[in-house]
Amino acid sequence: MYVLPPLPYAHDALAPLMSADTLHTHHGKHHKAYVDKMGDLAAKAGLAGRPVEELVVEAHRKGDKPLFNNAAQAWNHAFFWQCMRPAGGAGPSGDLLRAIDEAFDGLDALKEAFVNEGVGHFGSGWVWLVSGPEGLKVISTHDAEDTLTRDGLVPILVCDVWEHAYYLDHKNDRKTFLTRWFETLANWEFAAAQLAASGGQGQGYRYPAPAGEAQPA
């Protein structure tokens, strides 16, 4: 029923910054484990078949930590895979570039803010570019925490700063990982679509709907 969304590229497509080894483990083991546990815990909580976005919000509201952690990690990773594309793609342009210029005074300043937020983040978590009532900003969240439970924030881009995201390829050098991630792998086309959705044009990213079960009303 809850599917592990396939990677939108080959396992070796993000090398050398993110190796095939890292992606096989990160997607095929870490992400898969979150999805499997989410399914078990959703069934126990009587929430089987509900969209992942609803599981995250409902588990957070009820204080169901195990379900929240696994559902939020399932969602965050699915979103994260979309936030990357093979090196060599285009940078931000159009409305996205204008919003970056307005909030950060340019792409280099956004990169510095993003890398500094991630390097300064203690322990495991995520560094995000989000769109809120006052425009774009960079935030970080701890462990499984996401933006679905934060009113008014739409995620534009995210990078995983749990050690399993970079340790095989970069050991403890989170700064080099984040800098080169921002420079080469960030998917600005996806980011632009998220920004448009935050302004009411099109739909933002949704986790693939669970299959094979009736949706409760």
Give residues in contact with Mn ion (CB under 5 A).
160, 162
Tell me the closest approach of the beta carbon of residue 76 to Mn ion, in angstroms: 8
Q: Give the burial string for 53-79 (b: 16+ CB within 10 Å, else e).
A: bebbbbbbeeebeebbbbbbbbbbbbb
> Alpha-carbon distance 47 to 57, whole Å?
12
Tell me the closest approach of the beta carbon of residue 103 to Mn ion, in angstroms: 27
CB-side neighbour CA atoms (13 Å) of 177: 22
Residue among 117 and 160 whose Cβ is closer to Mn ion: 160
Tell me the closest approach of the beta carbon of residue 165 to Mn ion, in angstroms: 5
Residue among 128 and 162 whose Cβ is closer to Mn ion: 162
Residue pointed to by tokens 């933006």: 147
What amino acid occupies position 187? N
Tell me the closest approach of the beta carbon of residue 92 to Mn ion, in angstroms: 24
Instruction: With CA atoms as reference, report the closest residue to 197 among 141, 130, 137, 145.
Output: 130
Tell me the closest approach of the beta carbon of residue 100 to Mn ion, in angstroms: 25
Residue among 74 and 195 whose Cβ is closer to Mn ion: 74
Residue among 136 and 148 whose Cβ is closer to Mn ion: 148
Residue among 104 and 166 whose Cβ is closer to Mn ion: 166
Name the residue number minimizing CB distance to Mn ion: 160
Q: Which two tokens stand for residue 97?
A: 């570039």
* Environment class of 216 (CB within 10 Å of its CB; exposed 0-12, middle 13-18, buried 19+): exposed
